[in-house]
Amino acid sequence: MTRFADDDFVIGVDGGGSKTEAVLLTRDGRVLGRGKSGAANHHQTGWEGVLVEVQWAVQRACEQARRQPEEATALTLALAGIGSQTEENTLARLARKNWPRLRLQIAHDAHAALIGGLGQRHGIALIAGTGMIAYGVGVDGQRARAGGRGYCLDTGGGYFLGVEAVRAVLHAYDGLGLPTQLTPLVLRTLNLSRPDELVAWLYAPERSVKMIAALAPLVLEVAATGDGVAAEIVARGSDALATAVQAVAGRLRWEDDIPIVLSGSLLTKNAFYRALAVQAMRVRLPHARFFLPAENAALGAARLAWEEMGVHLPRQQPEEIGQTAAPWASEEPNVLSRGLHRRKVRDIVALMHVEDKRAVNAVGAVLPQIAAAVEAIAERMAQGGRLIYVGAGTSGRLGVLDASECPPTFGVSPEQVVGVIAGGEAALRQAVEGAEDVAADGAQAMRDLGVAPLDTVVGIAASGQTPYVRGALAEARRRGALTVAVVCNLPSPVAEEAQHVIAPRVGPEIIAGSTRLKAGTAQKLVLNMLSTATMVRLGKVYDNLMVDVQPDNEKLRARARRILQQASGASAEEAAAALEASGWEVKVALVSLLAGVPIAAARQALQEAAGHIAAALAALETEEVRQP
């Protein structure tokens, strides 16, 4: 093994979209010198520009230490924008021209941030500076990344926040968006008089990425005061950061005790944005642990250089942050709604709108799980099974609401889609305290309904904890029924009882614990999808028309006539006559008109096709071919 003197040193370089830093580090962990220069991302500056900035940073660090670069033992360049072997080779070729004697290592800046931040080789580094990247190394050495694709493509970094601020000010000026406190602050900061002057400012030849990213602190400042427009920008940014980390953790198959170090100026220097990002990550990764860097990425690069030489420096202990006493995410105070009672009504409703959008996005993240549940539900209902919703409080009311709307919309009997709420009908209008706390009552409700193997029981619980719902699912599963959990927190006892888990993790409510808000919104969206998509699969919809509508009043009879005209091209008189002849069965009348067959033949074809219009028409066409 090579022996090194106490004053031997290596050079570590970290370069990103705003700055480059070089550090000289001895074997025993002493920093001899530091040097800084401008951006060193080749997507912004070109390769020659990268080399110039790296040289400047190294030279300044060496001058401070009164040493020469050639005296170093090794050099590690950890730069942003290095995402392929070709890019590594290009950088290595340029570096060797300047430092041919040094042992050279090329690394990604996120890898150096991970090593410096955590002082260990495995974990996840989230960097948010000018751009952003989530980068992880698993305990088995596998690596994964998300983001880091350049300032134009990344969401959540300073450039993103800056551009969105300019866009928000211009949209407000043009009447395309809400008024925002960003307008006077941005104009004053840039010494502009009118919002439309921002266009010339943004596209000026001298405008740099760094100048645009410098607007990010303004967005965070205004968002923290309650401005709805700024709040939406930072919510999108922090959610994007959290989603990137979640993607990396998923690819590394990392679920428990995930160490995540937060790096980059937006996360290390701005407590508000850091708190938003940590909260968004905890919603998605409840077992994660969060740390501020023990050392920066330049020191991480230097550590990598020593490791390349076989020397492992003592680990520095990072500071853990972001611990919470809340039992699950929906109970946590929302960082964005701090000081809610002091805000203007306009800002309150704007923030509620921001949080509602987050609920929609949370549902979007679980669409594959919703689709899988629909396929399983439809398969059982096609054989005569029922769809049964079970919940308590808001969740129970939403289930009853969705169940009650299926008969008039899709022509199913009230016994086919059933809503069960803890506390019974009285709980539909007012809270029945304690009704949700007894698991045995939920189980008894399933026995009373005679739940059977062809049935599907959907347990709805925002917290994912409700004993009544858990008891109902456990009993339904014991009876062989399909079980589905719709929850907004994981891990969840309710989810443990279900074969299909749909978990739109919406995070903390604008009022802590008030899950009638965006958790309820997300649940309503999921139930809409479950019932509607299932009914489409069962043939209750033709094209995009509700052809099984029950025309029980004049409004619905008028709708039935319109549906028949739209689907068949018939006149109003022809549609009305067909409906009268069919006994106001829209599907029968439609098949009769489209296939040109008597009502009786249309009804028979539909029965044989299990109510599917397309299948009935295909069968009638085939029969016509056989019997010309």
- Report the catalytic residues: 405, 436
Element containing residue 461 per DSSP (H, E)? strand 456-461
The Cβ of residue 628 has, within 10 Å, a number of other Cβ atoms equal to 4
What's the length of the chain?
628
**Two tokens at 311?**
């020397």
Q: Among 229, 232, 299, 281, which residue's Cα sits nearest to residue 34?
A: 299
SS3 string, 158-202, reads HHHHHHHHHHHHHHHHHCCCCCCCHHHHHHHHHCCCCCCHHHHHH
Burial of 141 (0-12, 13-18, 19+ CB in 10 A): exposed
545 bridge partner residues: 542
Residues 6 or more apart whose CB falls under 8 angstroms from that of 536 comprise none
**Cβ–Cβ under 8 Å, residues 608 and 617:** no
Q: Using CA atoms in the order 583, 587, 592, 598, what is the torsion angle rounded to 10 degrees?
A: -40
**Two tokens at 216?**
């990010």
**Cβ–Cβ under 8 Å, residues 328 and 463:** yes
**Cβ–Cβ under 8 Å, residues 242 and 283:** yes
Q: Sign (positive/negative) of CA torsion 438, 443, 446, 450? A: negative
Gap between the Cα atoms of 366 and 272, Å rounded:
28
Angle at 127 between CA 122 and CA 132, to 5 degrees: 125
Angle at 452 between CA 448 and CA 454, to 5 degrees: 140
Gap between the Cα atoms of 150 and 159, Å rounded:
10
Backbone φ and ψ of 165, nearest 5°? -65, -45
Report the DSSP pairing between strands 132-137 and 123-128.
antiparallel
Q: Sign (positive/negative) of CA torsion 166, 170, 172, 178? A: negative
Which of the 8 DSSP states describes residue 70? G
Gap between the Cα atoms of 239 and 425, Å rounded:
39
CA distances from 406 to 365, 520, 544, 589 (A): 26, 19, 16, 21
The type of residue at 353 is: H
Q: DSSP secondary structure string, 481-537?
A: -EEEEEESSSS-HHHHT-SEEE-----S-SSTT-TTTHHHHHHHHHHHHHHHHHHHH
Gap between the Cα atoms of 222 and 240, Å rounded:
20
Backbone φ and ψ of 240, nearest 5°? -65, -40
CA distances from 19 to 293, 297, 452 (A): 18, 12, 65
